[in-house]
């Protein structure tokens, strides 16, 4: 074969291969773009269906916050409104309460789990009771007011999710990786006794198993229960942000469906991607210390006043509602006290 013809043939083959590769790359890019648009539209449709604009601006805010630029808070409310309970709207309780504060400057998140039996003032009731009972008065609104009364910080948004959404979301993600603290046997979401059996150790859990771990109250106390719920929330976040979960987002959106209500608009939700664009954000979990109280014949979780005040200060600082004093050393405090005393001495009596 003529050498020129051979080179020409070889060159044509290379060009053909390059064209095929380019065509495949363009096709893949189009498919990815189309899938991305599809997911955005699907998420927007679901978000619009779940949107509740009745929450309004917190009484502790002067104006509406913007998630893209401001520090904000979100209250996650887990409820059991299953048909198995046969409950009316005024008998539904909040089974899990977690307040998240988000700092826009350093893209950090603090999670505070509020034990369901916490004894606190319920504004819509006009007296003190378990915070879990607040929901039965006026749904999310009563729970939000009670949390604001307790922690003295504004609740800017809420997200209410029932057990079906919780289970389906985790299943849609293919399960979550968590550390089970001990062997446990628990009922499932349909109240079938001993349906869930878990062994101690790190493992993947499906939705029903994760719910059993989050809800069980037979092996420790409300504080540990709150820690388990925080751990599970973090695990869901980790799983959602993992590269392998991208193809599952459509299923996750469907899983939420009609089982979620939120005061966040789709635009608000989009702003939260800023917290994850550089990977998982810095997340700190906080507990509300307290003790068991049966003095009235009814079980309550009584908060320790000093611990509560510390948590209030941390949250206020994280939201930028007061100066951050967490980095003050003892010498710094002593210096401030000395300066204050000096000023007092200078002041004419």
DSSP state of 326: T
Q: Considering only CA atoms, which of 150, 156, 159 is closest in space to residue 117?
A: 150
Residue 229 has pLDDT above 80, yes or no: yes
Residue 340 lies in a domain: no
Q: Tell me which of 36-40, 246-250, 252-256 is least confident.
A: 36-40
End-to-end CA distance of the chain: 113
pTM value is: 0.74
Residue 127 has pLDDT above 80, yes or no: yes
Q: Which residues contact 14 (CB under 8 A, 6 or more apart)?
A: none
From residue 36, alpha-carbon distances to 42, 43, 212, 249, 315 in Å are 10, 10, 34, 10, 36
Q: Say if 24 falls within a structural domain.
A: no
Query: What proportion of the chain, given as a percentage, has pLDDT over 90?
Result: 30
Q: What are phi and psi of 99, to 5 degrees?
A: -100, 130
Sign of the four-CA dihedral 328, 329, 334, 338 = negative
Ranking 51-60, 81-90, 102-111 by mean pLDDT, the lowest is 81-90
Number of domains in the chain: 1
Strands, E assignment, the chain: 72-79, 94-103, 108-113, 119-122, 127-130, 157-162, 176-180, 184-186, 196-198, 201-205, 260-262, 282-287, 290-293, 300-303
Task: Supply the pLDDT for residue 190.
Answer: 83
pLDDT class for 263, splitting at 50, 70, 90?
confident
Crossing angle of helices 163-172 and 207-215, rounded to 10°? 130
Range of the domain at 145: 51-324
Whether 282 shows a pLDDT value over 70: the answer reads yes
- Predicted confidence at residue 300, as pLDDT, reads 92
Residue 209, SS3 per DSSP: helix
Q: What is the CATH number for 294?
A: 3.40.630.190
Is residue 6 in a domain?
A: no
Residue 42 resides in a domain = no
pLDDT for residue 133 is more than 60: yes
In a domain, 332, yes or no: no
**Spacing of C-alpha 155 from chain mean position:** 13
pLDDT at position 121: 96
Number of Cβ within a 10 Å radius of residue 300 = 21
State the chain's mean pLDDT as an integer. 78
Does 264 map to a domain? yes
Residue 26: the pLDDT is 53
Strand partners, 13: none
Q: Is residue 203 part of a domain?
A: yes
User: Is a pLDDT exceeding 80 seen at residue 242?
Assistant: no
Phi and psi torsions of 38, nearest 5°? -60, -45
Of residues 282 and 77, the one with the higher pLDDT is 77
Question: Is there a domain that residue 189 lies in?
Answer: yes
CB-CB contact of 43 with 266 (8 Å): yes
d(CA 99, CA 76): 6
Is pLDDT above 80 for 145? yes
Tens digit of pLDDT for each residue in 88-119? Answer: 556 688 888 999 999 989 889 999 989 989 99
Q: How many CA atoms lie within 13 A of 255 on its CB side?
A: 19
């Amino acid at each position: 074969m003529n050498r020129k013809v051979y080179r020409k043939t070889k060159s044509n083959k290379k060009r053909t291969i390059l064209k095929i590769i380019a065509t495949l790359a363009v096709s893949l890019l189009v498919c990815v773009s189309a899938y991305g648009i599809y997911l955005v539209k699907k998420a927007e449709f679901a978000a619009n269906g779940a949107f509740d604009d009745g929450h309004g601006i917190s009484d502790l805010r002067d104006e509406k916050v913007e998630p893209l630029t401001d520090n904000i808070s979100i209250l996650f409310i887990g409820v059991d409104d299953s048909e198995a309970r046969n409950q009316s709207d005024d008998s539904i309780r909040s089974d899990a309460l977690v307040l998240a504060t988000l700092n826009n400057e350093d893209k950090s998140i603090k999670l505070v789990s509020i034990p369901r039996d916490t004894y606190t003032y319920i504004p819509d009731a006009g007296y003190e009771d378990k915070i879990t009972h607040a929901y039965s008065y006026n749904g999310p609104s009563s729970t939000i007011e009670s949390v604001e009364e307790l922690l003295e910080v504004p609740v800017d948004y809420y997200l209410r999710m029932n057990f079906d959404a919780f289970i389906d979301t985790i299943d849609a993600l293919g399960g979550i990786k968590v550390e089970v603290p001990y062997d446990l046997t628990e009922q499932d979401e349909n109240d079938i006794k001993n349906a869930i059996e878990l062994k101690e150790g790190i493992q993947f859990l499906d939705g029903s198993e994760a719910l059993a771990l989050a809800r069980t109250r037979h092996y420790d106390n409300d504080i540990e229960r709150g820690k388990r719920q925080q751990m599970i929330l973090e695990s869901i976040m980790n799983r959602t942000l993992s590269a392998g979960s991208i193809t599952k987002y459509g299923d996750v959106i469907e899983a939420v469906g009609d089982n979620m209500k939120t005061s966040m608009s789709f635009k608000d939700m989009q702003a939260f991607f800023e917290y994850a664009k550089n990977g998982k954000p810095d997340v700190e979990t906080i507990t509300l210390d307290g003790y068991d109280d049966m003095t009235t014949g009814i079980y309550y979780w009584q908060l320790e006043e000093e611990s509560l005040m510390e948590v209030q200060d941390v949250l206020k600082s994280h939201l930028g509602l007061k100066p951050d004093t967490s980095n003050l050393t003892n010498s710094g405090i002593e210096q401030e006290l000395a300066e204050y005393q000096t000023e007092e001495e200078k002041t004419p009596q």
